[in-house]
Amino acid sequence: MNLTEIEFWDNYWRNIKLPSLPDKSHSFDRCLSRELERITRNKKGEILEIGCAPGKWISHLALCNGLTPSGIEYSPIGLELTYKNFELLKIKPGTIFVGDFFELEPTRKFDIVMSLGLIEHFDDVEKVIYKHIEWLKDDGLLILGIPNFSGVTKFIQHYLDKSLLDKHNLQIMNVEFFRNIGKKFNLKEIEINYIGSFEPDLPIPKTRFGNPMQITLKIILIVMRKLRRFSFTDKLNHSSYSSYILAVFQK
């Protein structure tokens, strides 16, 4: 079951500003862009991002590492933004496939298949990952990234807006899940890491003010944003507080 609907994503993308590229002054963008650049630095060919709106990450990898960006997107607003982003950045894309990921049959395969913040929105995650692999060439790279709503972040999000946790599959937010995925699908594990340190922008409040506990947590997050401006904090990673899990496999 999909834990989110198309309206959720249309509303999510509606206020995105273009052109969209990673903002390396922001702690999370700085961490993830650095890892993706490193992982794909010596790779050539085409990268397919599943759930690609607004084209932020594939545009970045096209510009910094010369990969040809393609994607799959089913949100109408997200699709429009992706095309506009390529246009503004003067990037010539490969193919943007339009429609429901589960209903699309691979017409060709790609050197790299990636999704960032997608698979955790489904109950049957193994089925979703298998669909990723169907689009991947032999010896190609599979890159899977998900937020880590466990540990400290889960506690904070629970008090700020518990309903957001319900839109995520919390059971997969651990390294062991991805290690088992590699074994199940006979993939070569390249690396599985916690990255992003603690990310104060990951927990999202539902209300502007809220009760005393919510106000206290918001003040703590404001302080943490100031600390996370310093890049040395990027290296502080642990399963109990790091904001992201990044897993890389070879088919």
The set of residues, in sequence order, having a beta carbon less than 8 Å from that of 191 and lying 6+ positions away, is 39, 246, 247, 248
Q: How many Å apart are CA 225 and CA 194, to the nearest integer? A: 19
- Considering the entire predicted model, what is its pTM? 0.93
pLDDT, position 3 = 45
Give domain status of residue 89, yes or no.
Answer: yes
Q: Which helix (H) or strand (E) holds 245?
A: strand 244-250
pLDDT, position 210 = 81
Give domain status of residue 85, yes or no.
Answer: yes
Residue 232's φ and ψ, nearest 5 degrees, are -65, -25
Q: How many domains does the chain have?
A: 1
Q: Is 188 helix (H, G, I), strand (E, B) or coil?
A: strand
The parts of the chain modelled with pLDDT lower than 50 are 1, 3
Give domain status of residue 172, yes or no.
Answer: yes
Domain with 97 in it: what CATH number?
Answer: 3.40.50.150
Q: How many Å apart are CA 74 and CA 223, to the nearest integer? A: 37
The set of residues, in sequence order, having a beta carbon less than 8 Å from that of 73 and lying 6+ positions away, is 51, 52, 53, 79, 82, 96, 97, 98
Radius of gyration over every alpha carbon of the chain, rounded to an integer in angstroms: 18
pLDDT, position 76 = 81
Q: Which domain holds residue 56?
A: 6-148+168-198+237-250
Write the single-letter amino acid at 155: F
pLDDT, position 12 = 62
Residue 18's φ and ψ, nearest 5 degrees, are -115, 155
Give domain status of residue 162, yes or no.
Answer: no
Give domain status of residue 226, yes or no.
Answer: no
Q: How many Å apart are CA 215 and CA 213, to the nearest integer? A: 5
Q: How many Å apart are CA 50 and CA 239, to the nearest integer? A: 26
Q: How many Å apart are CA 115 and CA 93, to the nearest integer? A: 17
Q: Of 21, 23, 41, 42, which is closest to residue 31 (Cα–Cα)?
A: 23
Give domain status of residue 156, yes or no.
Answer: no
Q: Which helix (H) or strand (E) holds 12?
A: helix 6-13
Q: Are 212 and 149 in contact (CB under 8 A)?
A: no
pLDDT, position 207 = 78
Q: Are 50 and 115 in contact (CB under 8 A)?
A: yes
Q: Are 146 and 120 in contact (CB under 8 A)?
A: yes
Give domain status of residue 231, yes or no.
Answer: no
Give domain status of residue 182, yes or no.
Answer: yes
Q: Residue 231 half-sphere exposure, CB side, CA atoms within 13 Å? A: 7
C-beta neighbour count of 16 within 10 angstroms: 15
C-beta neighbour count of 66 within 10 angstroms: 12
